[in-house]
Amino acid sequence: MPTSAPEPRRDLLTRRAFFGTIAAASGALVLLTAGQSFAPFDGFNLFAPRRYGAGPQSLPINRTARKAGVRDAALDPGWRLEVEADGRTAAFSRAQLRRLPQTEAVLPIACVEGWSTSAHWRGVRLAELFAHVGSTTPRGIRVRSLETHGAYRVTTMETEFARDPTALVALELNGEALDLDHGYPARIIAPGRPGVLQTKWLARLEAL
């Protein structure tokens, strides 16, 4: 089990609010409305084709691109992944990332909301990417997503993850291009990390 970084209190409060709602009211309509409003229960949302364990590419989604407010930025053909190390910054288009050596890994997403699903990922090793930009292996990485607000916008990855040969900037999931809701154009996937730190919709990586 992951040992670091508990999910923020916001999730706890949301969960209480949700159970409060179903305790206070009975009837499917209320339950469906709650499913629409509270991100942690997307898996139970009967309106959407992403029932528990059966989101696009057979993986649940904790938060969609639309809810995160990143749809336009993620689909922008001008998107670049910025990578900063040793005072230099390089920018990679998705096509350029695909031309770098690709690594495959089978790694789970383990969400504290109570699900864990293993998936087949393919993308560029973090170590490989930083080797293209800087001269030293990063001691850690600051990971920025395209989100302009929210708890998962910026996270930090310690050196052991940064060096792991299966720590990837993932471009593919289960043999297809990443679905928008799973983090297209690129996301982090690394072993031994809570789901909350598997950052989707990458914008920038900074060596620490």
Ligand X SMILES: Nc1nc2c(c(=O)[nH]1)N[C@H]1C(S)=C(S)[C@@H](COP(=O)(O)O)O[C@H]1N2
Provide, rounded to whole angstroms, the least separation between the CB of residue 195 and Mo ion.
4
Among 55, 138, 183, 195, binds Mo ion (CB under 5 A): 195
**Total residues belonging to the chain:** 208
169: left (phi over 0), alpha (psi -120 to 50) or beta: beta
Helix (H) or strand (E) holding 15: helix 9-24
Pairing assessment for the beta strands 202-207 and 81-85 based on DSSP bridges: parallel
Rounded CA-CA distance 118/116 in Å is: 7
List the interface residues with Mo ion, window 108-127 (CB under 5 A): 111
List the interface residues with Mo ion, window 173-192 (CB under 5 A): none
**Residue 145 binds to Mo ion (criterion: CB under 5 A):** no
Quote the tokens at residue 81: 């992944």
Q: By the 8 A CB rule, do 185 and 74 touch?
A: yes
- Report the partner that residue 122 touches, choosing among Mo ion, ligand X, none (CB closer than 5 to 8 A by kind): none
Tell me the window of 52-60, 91-99, 107-115, 156-164 that interacts with Mo ion (CB under 5 A).
107-115
- Report the partner that residue 182 touches, choosing among ligand X, Mo ion, none (CB closer than 5 to 8 A by kind): ligand X
- Report the partner that residue 45 touches, choosing among ligand X, Mo ion, none (CB closer than 5 to 8 A by kind): none
- Report the partner that residue 199 touches, choosing among ligand X, Mo ion, none (CB closer than 5 to 8 A by kind): ligand X
Name which of 77 and 114 has its Cβ closer to ligand X: 114
Among 45, 57, 62, 155, binds Mo ion (CB under 5 A): 62
- Report the partner that residue 63 touches, choosing among Mo ion, ligand X, none (CB closer than 5 to 8 A by kind): ligand X
Rounded CA-CA distance 179/109 in Å is: 15
- β partners of residue 108: 118
Side-chain-facing half-sphere of 5: CA atoms under 13 Å: 17
Residues near ligand X, by CB under 6 A: 59-63, 68, 109, 111, 145, 147, 152, 182-183, 195-196, 198-201
The angle at the Cα of 205, spanning 185 to 153, to the nearest 5 degrees, equals 70
Output the residue with the shortest Cβ distance to ligand X. Answer: 195
